[in-house]
Amino acid sequence: MDMSTDTSTAVDTDAPPFRYGAALATEIERRWQDRWEREGTFHTPSRPGPDAGEKVYLMDMFPYPSGSGLHVGHPLGFIGTDVLGRYLRMNGRTVLHTMGFDSFGLPAEQYAVQTGTHPRTTTEANIRRYKEQLRQLGLAHDDRRSVATTDVEFYRWTQWIFLQIYNAWYDPEQQRARPIAELEAEYAAGRRGPWAELSRVEQRQVIDGHRLAYISEAPVNWCPGLGTVLANEEVTADGRSERGNFPVFRRSLKQWMMRITAYSDRLVADLDRLDWPDSVKAMQRNWIGRSEGAVVRFATATGSGALADIEVFTTRPDTLFGATYMVLAPEHPLVSSLTPLEWPEGTDERWTGGSSTPALAVEDYRFEAGRKTDLDRQENKQKTGVFTGAYAVNPVNGREIPVFVADYVLMGYGTGAIMAVPGQDQRDWDFAAAFGLPIVRTVDPGDWEGEAFTGDGPAINSANEEISLDGLGVTEAKRAITDWLVARGDGEAVTQYKLRDWLFSRQRYWGEPFPIVWDADGLPVGLPDSELPVELPEIDDYSPKTYDADAADTEPEPPLSRNEEWVVAELDLGDGTASYRRETNTMPQWAGSCWYHLRYLDPDNTERFVDPDIEKYWLGADPSKPGDPGGVDLYVGGVEHAVLHLLYARFWHKVLYDLGHLSSEEPFRRLFNQGYIQAFAYTDARGTYVPAEEVVEAAEGGFTWNNEPVRREYGKMGKSLKNVVTPDEMCERYGADTFRLYEMSTGPMDVSRPWSTRDVVGSQRFLQRVWRNLVDEHTGETRVVDTEPDVDTLRALHKAIAGVHTDYRALHYNTAAAKLIELNNHLTRSGTAVPRSVAEALVLMMAPLTPHVAEELWSRLGHPETLAYAPFPVADERYLVADTVEYPIQVNGKVRSRVTVAADATPAEVEAAALADEKVAAALGGKDPRKLIVVPGRLVNVVV
RNA sequence: GCCCCCGUAGCCCAACCGGCAGAGGCAGGCCCCUUAAAAGGGUUCGAGUGCGGGUUCGAAUCCCGCCGGGGGCACCA
């Protein structure tokens, strides 16, 4: 038996000429696709007229057009949004739906490096291929609105938006981005600090330090194997590149950053206003990592005796009385200056790392810590560290506590320093245990037995002459101690975020060039709009300089830097013609996807990235829903973009909103994660993948290929796993409608499921049966009759109509399909010709799922116009209520009998009927029921 | 280690606010059509809902604890 594909190509020479098979389906599909295109059936006006139906903006996460084309897993979401769009259109809504391409990216560039083919050539060929593959699926897209991020006319506006961000700063008072000119004006007016006395260059540096897109010399993720730097989001938990799986090193390099951290608070808070899956919201919250706490300053003295403060961040200021030591990250700037010349008298041997002086101990430790990769740190959670030789003063009790250096404290989070409270923090407990440090409990653990107690409880051991926390719960204690610290000037309430600024430059060719040049002072200058677009120049070698994957000490060298002719630009930027050097980094792949939802709305606008009125119409907040942030009405895509694309796009959208370019506050009002189509793959004894379609299931269980046993695994569909099935094959063997119906019937949209070619035939059979019920397979004439359907048929019809509405709206296409099959089965079983009214309703209900065959049947039924805008059937309530209802009668929860009563019977009547039933009476055995529950329309339960 | 999601028939999946466990498809059995075959027609079989408790008149559904699978985060103070 063939497991994954049915390779038999039956030559049905005897099949009737008008049987709905692959050949007829294909002919119908081509014809209707041509007609939809010719007539512009799915063109949506950017500014619909006053009598247009309520607007709906549907979007799919646009694909990267890879060289291998689509497999059957890719279009699952695309078909899903298409079904909904078609359904909504038939219900009078004005639907905007199109498809674009996220076409900058690594594979085209790597292919270019190997073959010398320009990435644009490869990319455009791939896009053409994708468009053909998508067209044959019959997706109702407005093809005039399609964009690709690599189109010069598209990335011109990506660059324009970059300049908006570059020319803006975040005003923490107003909690929004403002034009940089307003900041400059405030400085010039002397309201923000020194200005007039600064040189022009110094003034520019001050301003540049506030921009939302800025240059920073900071530790970044340098990936020598790829020859580029990467964003935090592109680095996996074990310190490797998401693409290519190369080691990633922390290096201090000069790079472009985006100040996404300015928006941390709003990015978290506005999640509450979005209709998104909880899992994605949780991932974003987690990634942003908002935590509330306090900064506390501990007085200390440097090695030379000068006074200094160590600032720590803590989420548990309530445990301050239990802070028995402090820890600085190895990279902390205070470490060197704190270290005294000698170990203090009586220093514990465990604390010195075996060194004769603190300076040597610290130096050794820092060296060792620097050699460790993130992975080493993760794998080995043994606490290590050395004493700096310095002490700090706990502000609550004046006690001197030792200051350590340890790599379990990270420079990148909080202040890079902690107060250690072993009683309430397991990491601190572990360290304290290893180094023999005192442990003071400040939260009463009750009868809990264990090490650090992180739960809630009354504070203990937490009082001095001015304040006592004893007896307070954690929350109240936090508030009390924070107020006390603030009053004494020893601390502040502070909110911390894990989110880091977004590293925005890449050393690659195939990306958007920055609209930035560098002047003679070595400072960046944003180009004026008139200089846009900055087009990618032709170059000989597309590859960045890559290195041995482990060569951490190498430098990035972008490909664009090698075209000196392009790099040097003579421009007049207001101060007369001068020579500038162009920025040679390019933007990351995420740039285009941050705003393509805006360009779809107004793709041909040459004056603006999107017309404000058009944006307001399609994305504006819904005034009838309080708190609605606006955005795309439904955005469908995979969950893998939860913290990359979806976070970046929200950030850009908010900046553009702040600057007054948009009326909506969020890009995607509702998000839906579709499941994946996965597939079985098979390996032979050597572990090599064998073609999945040739594998057969052995009678005794197990699987064989060429009579050799093979092992089955389950996962992705991919070339290397030899288990790819393409939509092209499916369209050829069954037709697009069958393929669409199959994908939609196998489960609800959000569920992942295995591909099974063997099962596709079920969908084909259904369409064939519908066709046969309406069309004579021998003559092609319709078989419907102009008689009134009988009551049973009307009931079946209206039940289907009512159910299908609910299902389509809820994206439960599998159950919608089941109801249509059920209705058709009813028509088949009735054995008589199908009444026209029923046939037409069935065809209209099928149209969202299987549009081509529905159009064909609709036209054969005598309707010359497309059914794309035909009214969707409406259920007649009269046929939804039955005359009689059969009630199951439970006795103590077990069904013992059934009675049939009038549908409008009162509960008392139902009760009487139930008690009158013989079997119930028998089950009662003469006893009186203790309780009797009648659930109207459902059942009766008698309790004895 | 923490957080999120999911376990229903051989397989994919239904089951509304807790109310008769089954809508649909695949596979299987049987019958019909057929010289034969199936991507034909018909019919039929099939689980007590991962396991153990609890709440309830009543639990696939709610609660608790396990087991299994998937995903995210991870020395984040």
What is A291-496's CATH topology?
Answer: Isoleucyl-tRNA Synthetase; domain 2 (3.90.740)
A740 CA → B40 C1’, Å: 23
| Domains of chain A, residue spans | 48-159+591-673, 178-260+502-587, 291-496, 882-943
A659 beta partners: none
A222 beta partners: A229, A249
Task: Check residue A378 and give its pLDDT.
Answer: 62
User: In the structure encoding, which two tokens stand for residue A887, read together?
Assistant: 């009630």
H or E segment and range at residue A310? strand A307-314
Measured CA to C1', what is the nucleotide nearest A496?
B76
A829 CA → B42 C1’, Å: 10
- Closest protein residue to B57 using CA and C1' atoms? A943
Measured CA to C1', what is the nucleotide nearest A424?
B77
Residue listed under structure tokens 């706990």:
A394
b/e map of A817-847 (b: 16 or more CB within 10 Å)?
A: bbbbbebbebbeebeebbbbbbbbbbbbbbb
| Other beta carbons within 10 Å of A513 | 21
A430 CA → B65 C1’, Å: 29
A75 CA → B69 C1’, Å: 26
- Residue A906 CA: distances (Å) to CA of A16, A50, A915, A928, A937: 55, 49, 14, 21, 10
A696 CA → B28 C1’, Å: 17
Chain-centroid distance of CA A644 in Å reads 7
A179 beta partners: A168
Q: From start to end of A114-212, where are the E strands?
A: 168-171, 176-179
Q: Are strands A753-754 and A677-683 parallel, antiparallel or unpaired?
A: parallel
A756 CA → B40 C1’, Å: 22
Measured CA to C1', what is the nucleotide nearest A933?
B57
Measured CA to C1', what is the nucleotide nearest A419?
B77
| Cβ atoms of residues A717 and A71 within 8 Å | yes
A897 CA → B54 C1’, Å: 29
- Closest protein residue to B23 using CA and C1' atoms? A818
Measured CA to C1', what is the nucleotide nearest A286?
B73
**CA dist., res. A473 & res. A481, Å (int):** 12
- Closest protein residue to B72 using CA and C1' atoms? A283
Collapsing DSSP to helix, strand or coil, A229 comes out as: strand
How many Cα neighbours within 13 Å face the side chain of A421? 23
A752 CA → B10 C1’, Å: 20
**CA dist., res. A41 & res. A59, Å (int):** 18
Measured CA to C1', what is the nucleotide nearest A765?
B39
What DSSP string runs through A795-835? HHHHHHHHHHHHHHHTT-HHHHHHHHHHHHHHHHHH-SPPB
- Residue A845 CA: distances (Å) to CA of A79, A89, A225, A745: 16, 12, 54, 15
Q: Residue A685 class from Cβ within 10 Å (0-12 exposed, 13-18 middle, 19+ buried)?
A: exposed
Task: Check residue A227 and give its pLDDT.
Answer: 84
**CATH code, A882-943:** 3.10.20.590
Q: Give the ipTM.
A: 0.94
- Closest protein residue to B4 using CA and C1' atoms? A279
| Cβ atoms of residues A857 and A775 within 8 Å | yes
- Closest protein residue to B13 using CA and C1' atoms? A747
Measured CA to C1', what is the nucleotide nearest A235?
B73
CATH of the structural domain A48-159+591-673, one choice from 1.10.760.10, 3.40.50.620, 1.20.120.140, 1.10.357.10: 3.40.50.620
Question: Cis (ω within 30 of 0) for the bond into A330?
Answer: no
Measured CA to C1', what is the nucleotide nearest A816?
B24
- Stretches in chain A below the pLDDT threshold 50: 1-12
| Other beta carbons within 10 Å of A342 | 12
CA-based nearest residue to A770, from A867, A842, A833: A842
Measured CA to C1', what is the nucleotide nearest A747?
B13
Give the pLDDT confidence of A603-656 residue by residue, as tens digits. 999 999 999 999 999 999 999 988 899 999 999 998 888 888 999 999 999 999
A747 CA → B8 C1’, Å: 14
Strand B nucleotides in reach of protein CB atoms, 7 A cut-off: 3-5, 11-15, 19-21, 23-28, 36-43, 57-59, 71-77
**CA dist., res. A935 & res. A889, Å (int):** 11
Chain-centroid distance of CA A316 in Å reads 32
Task: Check residue A376 and give its pLDDT.
Answer: 65
Task: Check residue A1 and give its pLDDT.
Answer: 29
A77 CA → B60 C1’, Å: 28
Task: Check residue A811 and give its pLDDT.
Answer: 93
A91 CA → B41 C1’, Å: 36
A103 CA → B26 C1’, Å: 38
- Closest protein residue to B42 using CA and C1' atoms? A829
Q: Are strands A671-673 and A634-637 parallel, antiparallel or unpaired?
A: parallel
b/e map of A902-935 (b: 16 or more CB within 10 Å)?
A: eeebeeeebbebbbebeebeebbeeeebeeeebe
**CA dist., res. A421 & res. A428, Å (int):** 6
Residue listed under structure tokens 């309780």:
A931
A372 CA → B12 C1’, Å: 48
**CA dist., res. A944 & res. A931, Å (int):** 7
Measured CA to C1', what is the nucleotide nearest A930?
B57
**CA dist., res. A202 & res. A199, Å (int):** 5
**CA dist., res. A217 & res. A469, Å (int):** 44
A648 CA → B6 C1’, Å: 29
Task: Check residue A12 and give its pLDDT.
Answer: 44
Measured CA to C1', what is the nucleotide nearest A418?
B77
A483 CA → B13 C1’, Å: 58
Task: Check residue A3 and give its pLDDT.
Answer: 33
| Cβ atoms of residues A544 and A605 within 8 Å | no
Measured CA to C1', what is the nucleotide nearest A642?
B72
H or E segment and range at residue A255? strand A249-258
| DSSP H helical ranges for A58-105 | 75-90
A427 CA → B23 C1’, Å: 55
Integer-rounded Cα Rg, in Å, for chain A is 35
- Closest protein residue to B77 using CA and C1' atoms? A314
Measured CA to C1', what is the nucleotide nearest A749?
B13
Can you say whether residue A116 is alpha, beta or left, with left for phi > 0 and alpha for psi between -120 and 50 degrees?
left
